[in-house]
Amino acid sequence: MNDTFLKACRAEPVPYTPVWLMRQAGRYMPQYQEVRRKVDFLTLCKSPELAAQVTLQPVEVLGVDAAILFSDILIPVEAMGMRLEFSEQQGPVLSPPVRGQAELEGLRVPEPSKDVPFVLESIRLLRQSLQVPLIGFSGAPFTLATYMVEGGGSKSFFYTKWMMFRQREVFLGLLQMLTETVCRYLRAQIEAGAQAVQLFDTWAGILGPQDYRTYALPYVKQVVRELKGLGVPIIYFLNGCAGLLEEMLQSGADVLSLDWRIDIAQAARSVGAEAVLQGNLDPCALLLPRQELSQRVQDILQGARAARGHVFNLGHGVLPQIPLEAVKHLVQEVHRLSRRS
């Protein structure tokens, strides 16, 4: 097995910088589109053979150094008792939104082996054929809470902050229930065979430092503590991390995954030897001419040299409009430019 990714996560010497991409299995790939035409999104997530198939596609086509399980961060939320639908226009829709104690009392902490067995079966199938490490994942408690309170995505996150400031105890109760859910969910993924896990805090960047320290960080720390003894690297991605890097470091995660709004050399100086860094190319930089894209790759590799270790990634997921050839070029250039003599 190619274990370069795992070695980098542990800050061990590697022959080159490993690369994988958030949302690396997705709509930019014709191979994925072919599968997707046959089934709706939720059916794809819940069909282990199909989920394993699309997880494998970018590994085979791109030559990335890790696979990430094909699923969705809202799968465990549905298992908690909310109705989940996906709309082409609106994206995820969760109902009824959690706006008070009554809705909170209607939720439960799911048991992964009974409530989401398809996720664990997908992992077991993948481990039979993968020659690179498999990453499991979950949304972080705060990010999952935003979807549950807003009823889907949001631009202003008004109801989330209304809950924080007007229904504080209910919101904290939701966060604690989500923390237990995430701990169980990721533990089950690791026991099924996931060799690393990533926590996605996609919406924690809407918080200022004070509120991040109250409503996001304590629950991430609790998840990390629960998983630390299981022997797999824990990656924490915070979208909008530039003003929260010091707080992010307190999470205890082995790897801090950065968005593109912070210079990775600056982050490396701030973090020092306390964590490996992951990231952080702007996803839209894949639209650049190849020579300019290669220079962006070189700049990130150079900037990350001061870090304890580095895993190359985008600052967010691959966009559906990105040409497949550009993604192939990115992976090839990361390998070429970072290879040690």
Examine the pLDDT at 199 and tell me if it is beyond 70: yes
**pTM passes above 0.95:** yes
Provide the percentage of residues in the chain whose pLDDT is more than 70: 100
Examine the pLDDT at 166 and tell me if it is beyond 90: yes
> Cα–Cα distances in Å, from 267 out to 12, 148, 154?
20, 32, 28
For residues 36 and 39, what is the distance between their CA atoms, to the nearest angstrom? Answer: 5
Confidence of residue 210 (pLDDT cuts 50, 70, 90): very high
Q: What is the CATH number of the domain that holds 325?
A: 3.20.20.210
Catalytic sites, residue numbers = 23, 27, 36, 72, 147
> Cα–Cα distances in Å, from 331 out to 154, 283, 301, 314?
32, 13, 13, 11
- Our count of domains for the chain comes to 1
For residues 314 and 334, what is the distance between their CA atoms, to the nearest angstrom? Answer: 12
For residues 256 and 240, what is the distance between their CA atoms, to the nearest angstrom? Answer: 13
Examine the pLDDT at 289 and tell me if it is beyond 80: yes
Per the model's pLDDT, the better-predicted residue between 146 and 275 turns out to be: 146
Examine the pLDDT at 118 and tell me if it is beyond 80: yes
Examine the pLDDT at 105 and tell me if it is beyond 80: yes
Residues 251-270 have pLDDT tens digits of: 999 999 999 999 999 999 99
For residues 233 and 267, what is the distance between their CA atoms, to the nearest angstrom? Answer: 20
Closest CA to 193 of 111, 118, 117, 128: 128
For residues 103 and 82, what is the distance between their CA atoms, to the nearest angstrom? Answer: 9
For residue 341, the model assigns a pLDDT of 59
For residue 272, the model assigns a pLDDT of 82
Mean pLDDT of 227-239: 97
Q: Computed from CA positions of residues 90, 123, 24, 261, in that sequence, does the dihedral angle turn out positive or negative?
A: positive
Mean pLDDT of 308-332: 98
Provide the percentage of residues in the chain whose pLDDT is more than 90: 96
For residue 268, the model assigns a pLDDT of 95
Provide the Cα torsion 302, 332, 241, 165; round to 10°. Answer: 180
Mean pLDDT of 170-196: 98
Mean pLDDT of 56-62: 98
Q: Which residue has the tokens 């494998």?
A: 56
What string of H, E and C letters represents the secondary structure of the chain? CCCHHHHHHCCCCCCCCCECCCCCCCCCCHHHHHHHCCCCHHHHHCCHHHHHHHHHHHHHHHCCCCEECCCCCCHHHHHCCCEEEEECCCEEEEECCCCCHHHHHCCCCCCHHHHCHHHHHHHHHHHHHCCCCEEEEEECHHHHHHHHHHCECCCCCHHHHHHHHHCHHHHHHHHHHHHHHHHHHHHHHHHHCCCEEEEEECCHHHCCHHHHHHHCHHHHHHHHHHHHHHCCCEEEEECCCHHHHHHHHCCCCCEEEECCCCCHHHHHHHHCCCCEEEEEECHHHHHCCHHHHHHHHHHHHHHHHHCCCEEEEECCCCCCCCCHHHHHHHHHHHHHHHCCC
Tell me the residue range of the domain where 287 lies. Answer: 4-338
Examine the pLDDT at 90 and tell me if it is beyond 90: no
As beta bridge partners, residue 135 has 68, 196
